[in-house]
Chains A and B, each alone.
Chain A
Amino acid sequence: MSAAADAHHDDHHGSGYGWKRWLYTTNHKDIGTLYLWFAFVMFIIGGIMALIIRAELWTPGMQITDPQFFNSMTTMHALVMIFGVVMPGFVGLANWMVPMMVGGPDMAMPRMNNWSFWILPFGFGILLSTLFMEGGAPAAGWTIYPPLSLQGGDHVPFMIFAIHILGVSSVMGAINIIATILNLRAPGMTLMKMPLFVWTWLITAYLLIAVMPVLAGAVTMLLTDRFFDTSFFSAAGGGDPVMFQHIFWFFGHPEVYILILPAFGIVSSIIPTFARKHLFGYSSMVYATASIAFLSFIVWAHHMFTVGMPLAGELFFMFSTMLIAVPTGVKVFNWVATLWKGSMTFETPMLFALGFIIMFTIGGFSGLMLAITPVDFQYHDTYFVVAHFHYVLVPGAIYSIIAAVYFWIPKWTGHMYDETLGKWHFWLSTIFVNVLFFPMHFVGLAGMPRRIPDYALQFVDFNQIATIGAFGFGFSQLIFLYLVVKCIKGGEKATDRVWEGAHGLEWTLSSPPPYHSFSTPPEVKAEHHI
């Protein structure tokens, strides 16, 4: 059970060779690597789906898809990107970094860690297999609102069981991360000395445990409505389809913070390193993260302003939503204050972190616009919403994961990555991601609805710009793949500290670190590690 069990082997890796090494591994670094590669493969699959969507939207009318398949693409793109890329990406980073950052030997429950990862490919195998079924893949949107989502073909039970499996995986991962953080911190590493990445993951893990079971409950109700004659959401039996939306978004809104809080932690590690200053307002960052997590539970109905809520409800959800801008503003302020008068250098991780701050804030502002109930009636289900959440998820969550990989890959592999290629990757990605998503604000405000394969003639220009951006952004990611493979294979030797301004326990280990991080707990000095 414990990491000590396979210590008899050797220092490089655990039991088994070849593929068995990866199948049987209980090592946090191996599992972190598996998660990250899994996320990358899913990123390619979800990205191909996005490119199919953008290719179809090159001109009005139907070109390469039929409407059913187009809707499958929007649905599957979202499910793959959310559950297959961003969440496993963050869990992979947590696996690699949390034990090293808190000064522990490994994750608290290594065997469960192996399970959390290895059920994921099966979950996605089930989900992706629906693409080849009669009647096609799920096409009612990732929000799976009934009654539409129950009217699909054979895919319905497969999608539901896939969501169950992904949920079990996330909850097991979350339990493991919480146990690691609470029990395996080195002596002297008090909670308020933990790096912010650890803090944000602790809070994210609690969010996961609080809401993934609610989603599991909601999809279970869908299953019984479809196959066992219950009427949770069927109006014919006295049920209420709007209730599904309430339950779904009670999960869904904390979920969107699950997709961004670890990003805040990553950026809070990178910015001080390259500004060569301590993070400004450490404790306010912790409290702001906790406040955002709390508020996420009382704002869900802002996703459903148009269902016909009473005025009091609309006002409550509008104001509680706007309140989230306060702790988020505190975070952005702290990052900017950290940069202020810092001795900044602009290596690739810093570029991605700065890109994150600027573009995530753009997404935050469009979120504030959507929070205003009366105008949301115009924006609802238009491309403006698509622009908003892609700004917070692509140059937000995805950029933070990329930044984290650049930041820690010299530690993981022992080699420096190719800085020139990294800069190419950043600038191409950043130009194309804006070409891709910025015009969506305009077509959205002009009234183009989302999730529809055809559109009116006046939207052609902006859609073509977006499609060019999509292909540019997609192919720019191949630079990243090449760069990572090249870095794993070799390159300039990385020092233990890697970055001049780096602080924290992970930088006291060798690059690459030993197979078991801290066999004897390190001593944590009085000054805090950020």
Chain B
Amino acid sequence: MAGSMQQAHSKVARKLLLLTVCMFGFGFAMVPIYDVFCDLTGLNGKTGRVSEAQSARMGVDENRLITVEFVSTINGGAGPWEFAPAQAKMQVTPGELYTTHYRARNLSAAERVGRAVPSVAPAVASRYFQKTQCFCFEKQDFAAHEAREMPLTFVIDPRIPPGVDTVTLSYTFFNAEPA
């Protein structure tokens, strides 16, 4: 009697411990789930990336002209950097490839590493803002006082919803060295 009761207790405890471990894993699984969800929906201003061959197959919509604005922010804690777009805005035709660049300069006398994180507004446009070449998310090594141009090649997918005539690409520049 007492033995079978012990067995019943350990059975319940084992199942519930398994559930506990699964839910601990689920907490971490929410990280990739969140990313996939944002990619699929274009939420959070996440932009896409395509190859040049893919962009060539998009076709060109000659009837639309979209204004692309470029802005930059230097993160509050990032320290002395200069980071700005070469051009404030461009008129682009959906489906055609364009290249522009951002300029970055390390204003300090030490070697430093920076990293730029992009975001697109309005959110509905972010899925249609495709880049073939970008410096985003990559660690950028800078020597003391080094200045550099960082190129960006992009195409606006012609399927971009009607009504969107201005798209803003924003880069935030962070210090990428471990704190």
Partner-B contacts on A (CB < 8 A)? 1-2, 4, 108-109, 171, 174-175, 178-179, 182-183, 209-218, 221, 229, 232, 235-238, 240, 242-243, 246-247, 250-251, 309-310
Cβ of B128 under 8 Å from chain A: no
Complex alpha-carbon distance, A182 and B21, angstroms: 21
What is the CA–CA distance of A484 and B24 in the complex, to the nearest angstrom?
40
B175 at the interface (CB under 8 A from A): yes
Chain B residues touching A, majority SS:
helix
Q: Which of B2, B8, B17, B23 contacts A210 (CB 8 A)?
A: B23
- Which chain B residue lies CB-closest to A174? B16
Contact A175 B17 (CB under 8 A): yes
List residues of chain B with CB within 8 A of the CB of A247: 27, 30
15 contacts between A and B (CB under 8 A): A4-B2, A178-B12, A179-B8, A179-B12, A183-B8, A209-B23, A212-B23, A213-B24, A214-B27, A236-B117, A236-B174, A237-B115, A237-B174, A240-B44, A250-B30
- Seen from chain B, the residues whose Cβ lies within 8 Å of a Cβ on chain A are 2, 5-6, 8-9, 12-13, 16-17, 19-21, 23-28, 30-31, 34, 41, 43-44, 75, 115, 117, 123, 137, 172, 174-176, 178
Per the bound structure, the CA–CA distance linking A102 and B5 in Å amounts to 16
Min CB–CB distance A171 → chain B (angstroms): 5
Task: Give the docked Cα–Cα distance between A213 and B20 (Å).
Answer: 6
A243 to B12 Cα, complex, angstroms: 33
B19 to chain A, nearest CB (A): 6
In the complex, the answer to whether B115 meets A236 with C-beta atoms within 8 Å is yes
Pair B176/A216 contact, Cβ less than 8 Å: no
Contacts of B41 in A (CB 8 A): 310
Residues from chain B with Cβ under 8 Å of A182 in the complex: 8, 12
Assuming A108-B12, A309-B43, what are 19 further A-B pairs, CB within 8 angstroms? Answer: A1-B6, A2-B5, A108-B9, A175-B20, A178-B12, A182-B8, A183-B12, A210-B19, A210-B23, A212-B20, A213-B21, A214-B23, A214-B24, A214-B27, A216-B27, A237-B174, A238-B137, A247-B27, A247-B30
A contact patch SS = helix
Chain A positions within 8 Å of B16 at CB level = 174-175, 178-179, 209
Q: Which of B20, B27, B43, B174 contacts A235 (CB 8 A)?
A: B174
Q: Which residues of A contact B43 (CB under 8 A)?
A: 309-310
